[in-house]
Amino acid sequence: MNTFHDLGLNEDLLQAITDLGFEKPSEVQDKAIPILLNSETDLVALAQTGTGKTAAFGFPMLHKIDINSRTTQGLILSPTRELCLQIANEMKLYGKYCKGLNVAAIYGGASITDQAREVKRGAQIIVATPGRMKDMISRRLVDISKIEYSVLDEADEMLNMGFKEDITEILSHTPEDKNTWLFSATMPKEVAAIAKNFMHQPQEITVGHKNEGSKNVTHEYYLVNARDRYQALKRLADANPDIFSVVFCRTKRDTQKVAERLIEDGYNAGALHGDLSQNQRDLVMKSFRNNQIQMLVATDVAARGIDVDDITHVINYQLPDEIETYTHRSGRTGRAGKTGVSMVIVSKSEVRKIKSIERIIKKAFEKKDVPNGMEICEVQLMSLAKKVHSTEVNTDIDAYLGDINSLFEDTSKDELIKKFFSVEFSRFYNYYQKASDLNISGSFDESRSGESNSKSTRYFINVGKKDGYDWMSLKDFLKEILELGRDDVFKVEVKDSFSFFNTENELKEKVLAFFTDFKHDGRFVNVEVSENRGRSGGGRRDRGRGKRRDDRKGGASSGGEHKKRRSDNKSKPRRSNSNEFASSRPRRSRR
Ligand code: ADP
Ligand code: MG
């Protein structure tokens, strides 16, 4: 493998590389940099997240532009504000010895005048998000008519986020004969189309297989009942005391809820989703970067900008709707040469998706058991023992040693150790000694053959044709208010004044809880499990049937029932980091 020197970069850049501590080029850098330095060509480069793509296009761009000119020559488009800022910062670091270099970052949510001023200063390179860039072009605050190099970074994400039109519009303001370098982790059809329509005979490099996950990530799944999802999450966290993780949920609501429960239960957790203000999101990300948050619960969209290198675990609390999204989630760990684990908590009804994911990432999942209570106690105990063993002694304790010694005068070393560790151990032991086994049997193959009606629940809902619904509009309505995915509501059957629909059993609690006092157009919408098994099973009823008309009382009281049923979650034990002798000191940094 080459050194950076072999690749042909100039002295200023090599000096910066030494400062950054990059010893040798990563694979994508090794492949892309010589091509970009030595030829005027378009390029499509496919490589996983965390493989060093920024430097793969950043160094060649810095090498090739004319620093003495104040014309904008390079344009880098990236999907999110976070990435945009991150790339701009990296470019400044790479170019720290290039005298006269100006890099401007252009993104939404900040002053457009300030950004225009940055550009005016003579920015040779602009790093931008598509939305704000388009805005600035239409207000004539930027001139990209002399661009020589344009980069589409994380092209798959930009298209996912609906920036296709913006990108098209932006590129139409750039010269025909510029070079375009497209970087992407995956190659869906949409990216291939961009390459075809906007690029001229691009050279193509691929690191690993297309759409393949990072080599450094192992994949595990845990099969549990849907109602045990949260308990399983806690056990996975407790079994990994030094976990530093992103926990993915499907909806903003679930994200918020899971984060809140974790915090209540004493974990260092935080939520990241689109309903938070930019300011709140910045704060959460700051705490995560400082390791004050160990479990960042996030939606897929919000997690796109996460650029933290040492994430140990990605936990799929729920699987994503789109299987491709899994690649992005798991790519948040195993970055920069480190290893990582991607865990999936899966219920029987969706375990078959694991197989489809395996096909896409071309790697096998390992089916693992959720650790039982005693295993967790052991892990926690040994982790504490190691921590004590490696703790530096605080000599200020010397002053109290006399008193402490006299207290333990008659205590042997063994006994002292036992007592000392019991402080921590008993907490976990008491919580976990009666803990049940959360694992259920079955694999995706078994579950596939057992795929039957009994896994879905049929509901009655008191709206129908009279209210203007047909099956399609009712399905859309339900999906939207319940924040469900494409196929989560099915077998919708609309009658005159009422209707039926199905969901997977695991969504039952959510559906019923949602409709406990839901009003639409000024009237209560009542949903109950239907006893009508004819259509698809629907399962046992826990409440009476036959409430075929508006029945407010029924709806409200059944809501109370559901809430009661759900409130039996215990929340002990508190997280080890939030008490033990750690509680009074500032956050330890992991490792
Ligand atoms: P990608 O864009 O592919 O997701 P990044 O460009 O963000 O990856 O790089 C991931 C991390 O790896 C960054 O922290 C970066 O500083 C580091 N990195 C990049 N190239 C090298 C290298 N050659 N040697 C060591 N670390 C590197
Ligand atoms: Mg990147």
Check the CA dihedral 543-544-545-550 and report its sign: negative
Q: State how far the Cα of 281 lies from the Cα of 303, in Å rounded to an integer.
A: 10
- State the ligand closest to the CA atom of 54: 1
Strand partners, 46: 184, 206
Q: How many Å lie between the centroid of ligand 2 and the Cα of residue 404?
A: 54
Which of 223-253 are b and which e, b meaning 16 or more Cβ less than 10 Å from the residue's Cβ? bbebebbbbbbbbbbbbbbebbbbbbbbbbb
| pLDDT value of residue 202 | 92
- Residue of 323, 228, 266 whose CA lies nearest to 569: 228
- What is residue 461's three-state secondary structure? strand
Per residue in 55-87, pLDDT tens?
A: 999 999 999 999 999 999 999 999 988 889 999
What interhelical angle do 130-138 and 164-171 show, nearest 10?
Answer: 40
**What amino acid occupies position 337?**
G
> Which residues contact residue 572 at a Cβ distance below 8 angstroms, ignoring those fewer than 6 apart?
265, 427, 430, 431
Task: Please provide the DSSP assignment of 173-228 as one string.
Answer: TS-TT-EEEEEES---HHHHHHHHHH-SS-EEEESSSTTPPPTTEEEEEEEB-GGG
**22, 59, 96, 182: residue to mutate for ligand 1 pocket, most atoms within 8 A of CB:** 22
Tokens describing residue 576: 């080890």
Which atom of ligand 1 is least distant from the CA of 86? 7
Which atom of ligand 1 is least distant from the CA of 20? 16
> Which residues contact residue 47 at a Cβ distance below 8 angstroms, ignoring those fewer than 6 apart?
27, 28, 53, 56, 183, 185, 206, 207, 208
Per residue in 43-52, pLDDT tens?
A: 999 988 778 9
Q: Does any ligand 1 atom lie closer than 6 A to the CB of residue 53?
A: yes
Which atom of ligand 1 is least distant from the CA of 185? 3
Which atom of ligand 1 is least distant from the CA of 336? 12
Q: State how far the Cα of 292 lies from the Cα of 296, in Å rounded to an integer.
A: 10
317, burial (CB in 10 Å: exposed 0-12, middle 13-18, buried 19+) = buried
Q: Does any ligand 1 atom lie closer than 6 A to the CB of residue 420?
A: no
Q: Does any ligand 1 atom lie closer than 6 A to the CB of residue 93?
A: no
125, 61 contact by CB (below 8 A): yes
Q: State how far the Cα of 23 lies from the Cα of 30, in Å rounded to an integer.
A: 12
CB atoms within 10 A of CB 328: 24
| pLDDT value of residue 213 | 54
| pLDDT value of residue 574 | 45
H or E, element range at 43: strand 43-46
Tokens describing residue 359: 């096909």
Q: State how far the Cα of 83 lies from the Cα of 220, in Å rounded to an integer.
A: 29
Q: Does any ligand 1 atom lie closer than 6 A to the CB of residue 115?
A: no
Task: Please provide the DSSP assignment of 250-318 as one string.
Answer: SSHHHHHHHHHHHHHTT--EEEE-TTS-HHHHHHHHHHHHTTS-SEEEE-TTGGGG---TT--EEEESS
| pLDDT value of residue 544 | 36
Q: State how far the Cα of 72 lies from the Cα of 69, in Å rounded to an integer.
A: 8
Q: Does any ligand 1 atom lie closer than 6 A to the CB of residue 335?
A: yes
- Provide the residue count of the chain: 591
Per residue in 191-205, pLDDT tens?
A: 888 888 889 999 999
Q: Does any ligand 1 atom lie closer than 6 A to the CB of residue 342?
A: no
| pLDDT value of residue 183 | 95
Q: State how far the Cα of 516 lies from the Cα of 525, in Å rounded to an integer.
A: 9
> Which residues contact residue 326 at a Cβ distance below 8 angstroms, ignoring those fewer than 6 apart?
316, 319, 320, 357, 360, 361
| pLDDT value of residue 214 | 65
Q: Whose CA is nearest to atom 25 of ligand 1?
A: 22
Q: How many Å lie between the centroid of ligand 1 and the Cα of residue 17?
A: 12
Q: Whose CA is nearest to atom 5 of ligand 1?
A: 52
Q: Does any ligand 1 atom lie closer than 6 A to the CB of residue 22?
A: yes
Tokens describing residue 377: 């106690």
380, 238 contact by CB (below 8 A): yes
- DSSP state for residue 466 in the 8-state scheme: G
Q: How many Å lie between the centroid of ligand 2 and the Cα of residue 154?
A: 6
| pLDDT value of residue 471 | 84
Q: Does any ligand 1 atom lie closer than 6 A to the CB of residue 331?
A: no
- State the ligand closest to the CA atom of 76: 2
44, 204 contact by CB (below 8 A): yes
13, 63 contact by CB (below 8 A): yes
Which pLDDT tens digits describe the chain residue by residue (591 residues)? Answer: 689 999 999 999 999 999 999 988 999 999 999 999 999 999 999 988 778 999 999 999 999 999 999 999 999 999 988 889 999 999 999 999 999 999 999 999 899 999 999 999 999 999 999 999 999 999 999 999 999 999 999 998 888 778 889 999 999 999 999 999 999 987 878 888 888 888 999 999 988 654 445 678 899 999 998 888 999 999 999 999 889 999 999 999 999 999 999 999 889 999 999 888 888 888 999 999 999 999 999 998 888 767 788 899 999 999 988 877 898 898 888 876 678 999 999 988 888 888 888 888 878 888 899 998 888 888 888 888 888 888 888 888 899 999 989 988 888 989 988 888 888 788 888 888 878 888 887 655 444 333 344 578 889 999 998 888 888 889 888 988 888 876 788 888 888 889 999 998 888 888 998 888 888 888 888 898 886 554 443 333 333 333 333 333 333 333 333 333 333 344 445 444 433 333 322 333 333
Q: How many Å lie between the centroid of ligand 2 and the Cα of residue 54?
A: 5
Is cis: bond before 202, omega within 30 of 0? Answer: no
Q: Which residue has the tokens 């549990």?
A: 224
75, 128 contact by CB (below 8 A): yes
- What is residue 573's three-state secondary structure? coil
H or E, element range at 473: helix 471-482
Q: Whose CA is nearest to atom 9 of ligand 1?
A: 52
Radius of gyration of the chain (CA): 28
This model's pTM is above 0.75? no
* Strands 456-461 and 527-529, sheet pairing: antiparallel
Q: How many Å lie between the centroid of ligand 1 and the Cα of residue 51?
A: 6
196, burial (CB in 10 Å: exposed 0-12, middle 13-18, buried 19+) = exposed
Q: How many Å lie between the centroid of ligand 2 and the Cα of residue 498?
A: 51
